Amino acid sequence: MQSTNAPLIPVFTRWFGSWQIRVERRPLHPEALAEAYDRAAPRWTRLTDRLGYGRSYERLFEGLIRRQTLGADAALLRVLDCGVGTGSFSLALARAWRKPMALTAVDLSPAMLAAAEARIRAAGLHARLLEACVCALPFADASFDLVVAAHVLEHLPDPVEALAEIRRVLRPGGQVVACITRHSWLGAYIQAKWRTHRLTREQADRWLCQAGLEPAPVQEPLTGLSGLTSLVAVGHHQQAGAAGPELLF
């Protein structure tokens, strides 16, 4: 059973004169979340492909790569995918990147990891996949150039804690690219089904800042149905004393 002191996910807040009405909900416990995604894994790729997520993710990465420049010290891009699911976000990055990269991925769901491993192998890629929580990543400091996370942060009771852990494993000058359930009517459905946070752009940037990451403008919003359910947040691990973020893409 979850502790009654665990952080709650805000669902509804309204002021009526001097009265505030606030509805909050407990997030799924990690074991329950893993079990829910284990059950969803057999149909997950078919569902997300039908909704256009894979192609939308690819366009997102193509836009980031086209508009920015790769750091000189990232000849072999070291990537961590937090909450890899069945691999759609990593595979979209690989299609857009078209150069060698060293991919590591974590997820709480063994069934999702197995599906991701099969898809990544079928695409001719290699990855190190581990069962782990984004709030306690089993990696040394500054291990990665890029961390990607598609629809994992909003499941967590304390997403800022997870982002701080992501910052720890990012090299100075590295960046995180995250897709998060947005504050929309479709986002409300996802929130009701999966007990997630749903965010505005300002809230997403606030999470990044609270974790010590520098938010960056996003010129590549997701398209189609994925754009109605998700927003993109990009944060940089600012180098100490730097005048501005070193852009990875």
Q: 216 lies in a domain?
A: yes
Q: 244 lies in a domain?
A: no
Q: Which domain holds residue 33?
A: 27-236
CATH of the domain at 36: 3.40.50.150
- Write phi, then psi, for 147 (nearest 5 degrees): -120, 130
C-alpha atoms less than 13 angstroms from C-alpha of 107 in its C-beta half-sphere: 29
Q: Is 17 exposed, middle or buried (0-12, 13-18, 19+ CB in 10 A)?
A: exposed
The sheet with strand 77-82 has its strands ordered as 127-131, 101-107, 77-82, 144-150, 170-181, 230-236, 214-216
Q: 248 lies in a domain?
A: no
Q: 7 lies in a domain?
A: no
Minimum mean pLDDT range among 33-37, 52-56, 244-248: 244-248
Q: 80 lies in a domain?
A: yes
CA distance 106 to 85: 9
Q: 207 lies in a domain?
A: yes
Q: 246 lies in a domain?
A: no
Cβ-Cβ contacts under 8 Å for 11 (sequence gap 6 or more): 23, 24, 25, 191
* Confidence band for 241, pLDDT divided at 50, 70 and 90: very low
pLDDT top residue among 100 and 245: 100
Structurally, how many domains does the chain consist of?
A: 1
pLDDT at 41: 95
Q: 8 lies in a domain?
A: no
For the residues 102-129, what does the mean pLDDT come to?
A: 97
Nearest to 187 by CA among 162, 151, 221: 151
* Confidence band for 249, pLDDT divided at 50, 70 and 90: low
Minimum mean pLDDT range among 6-15, 45-54, 131-140, 210-219: 6-15
How would you classify residue 51: left for phi > 0, otherwise alpha for psi between -120 and 50, otherwise beta?
Answer: alpha
Predicted confidence (pLDDT) at residue 214 exceeds the cutoff of 70? yes
pLDDT top residue among 185 and 210: 210
